Amino acid sequence: MIITPPCLKEGDTIGIVCPAGYMAAEKAQTCIHTLQEWGYRVQTGTTLGGHSTTYFSGTDEERLRDLQRMLDDSSINAILFGRGGYGTGRIIDHINWKKFRKHPKWIIGYSDITVIHSHLHRNFGISSLHAPMAGAFNDEGYKNEYILSLKNALEGKKAVYNADGHAKNREGEATGELVGGNLSLLAHLMGSESEIKTKNRILFLEDVGEQLYNIDRMLHQLKRSGKLAKLAGLIFGGFTEVKDTERPFGKAIHDILSEIVQEYDYPVCYDFPVSHTDKNYALKIGVEYTLRVKTNGVQVEERT
């Protein structure tokens, strides 16, 4: 039975930290203002705009300490990450989840935060939010439907998302727990205590900036590990800014994706709005959804 953190109410506090890459404090100001407009208090961690001069938002110890404080603080009702990048995997095994497990709160983010999503679901059965982070509020992003989907999720409103059809979609309907995230991270988590569980679940995958051959390699790793064989359904999100080698790989991205699942019979959709672009719906990891793939479009509906 999945454990779902409580919905937020007016006056609750959202913490903002950076457990991986560096983010300048000014890049979170629009997010902070918007969250306050929504009726929440905001508390920022030391890793947002910290003193780091490296890729990371602080040393492993500093990032761990900042996140641990937010996890343990009972006055903080949700944690929104500033950005992803790389670094969460360096500290995940040192996090103490004891207090968090007694009083779960929404963990919000995507990309490198896939590490935390998968770890929480696999080990504790606690739901978290794969959703836009602080940087996505900039450039008037706070006005779009994807940021609004985060607001609705935090308030406990039922999600019903509709997307365009795709020529390669495989029709059908499936219901199951939703799991997934960034393909690169899920492949790297194989063999660890954070390895994803997919059997009888709806899996979603997305990625950015990868070589075509590497996407193919990571998908085959998931397949060889049995992660694609017994799915209820599969959602391919955005695979953006893909690159090719000097000597071409020989297949386009959608051909790579469809080839990996051609032997299975569960419903599959492509280009669903979950990605590293502004098109990134809030999805609750571990919560039951129904996926409907039809000729004229796709619907992902949260079950209540």
Does pTM surpass 0.95? Answer: yes
The residues that are catalytic are 111, 206, 276
DSSP E strands in 124-274: the ranges are 128-130, 160-163, 172-182, 202-208, 233-240, 268-269
Percent of the chain with pLDDT over 90: 98
H/E segment holding residue 283: strand 283-285
Instruction: Read off the pLDDT of residues 57-84 as tens digits, 9 standing for 90 and up.
Output: 999 999 999 999 999 999 999 999 999 9
pLDDT in the model for residue 50: 85
**How would residue 1 be classed by pLDDT, with cut points 50, 70 and 90?**
confident
pLDDT in the model for residue 143: 95
Instruction: Read off the pLDDT of residues 234-255 as tens digits, 9 standing for 90 and up.
Output: 999 999 999 999 999 999 999 9
Instruction: Read off the pLDDT of residues 163-217 as tens digits, 9 standing for 90 and up.
Output: 999 999 999 999 999 999 999 999 999 999 999 999 999 999 999 999 999 999 9
- Asked if residue 239 lies in contact with residue 215, where contact means CB atoms within 8 angstroms, the answer is yes
pLDDT in the model for residue 102: 97
Helices (H) and strands (E) in the chain, counts: 9, 13
Domains of the chain: 13-154 (3.40.50.10740), 160-302 (3.50.30.60)
Is the pLDDT at 151 greater than 90, yes or no? yes
Is the pLDDT at 99 greater than 80, yes or no? yes
pLDDT in the model for residue 166: 97
- Asked if residue 70 lies in contact with residue 79, where contact means CB atoms within 8 angstroms, the answer is yes
At residue 290, the 3 state secondary structure works out as strand
pLDDT in the model for residue 204: 99
Is the pLDDT at 52 greater than 90, yes or no? no
CA dist 47 and 63 (Å) reads 6
pLDDT in the model for residue 80: 98
pLDDT in the model for residue 84: 96
**How would residue 103 be classed by pLDDT, with cut points 50, 70 and 90?**
very high
Would you mind telling me the total number of residues written for the chain in this entry?
Answer: 304
- Asked if residue 228 lies in contact with residue 264, where contact means CB atoms within 8 angstroms, the answer is yes
CA dist 18 and 54 (Å) reads 13
pLDDT in the model for residue 279: 97
The single residue listed with the structure tokens 């309907």 is 173
Average pLDDT, the chain: 97
With b for 16 or more beta-carbon neighbours within 10 A and e for fewer, the 218-229 pattern comes to bbeebeebebbe
**How would residue 51 be classed by pLDDT, with cut points 50, 70 and 90?**
confident
- Among residues 123, 145, 119, the alpha carbon closest in space to that of 132 is found at 145
**How would residue 304 be classed by pLDDT, with cut points 50, 70 and 90?**
confident
**Residues linked to residue 176 through DSSP beta bridges, in sequence order:** 289
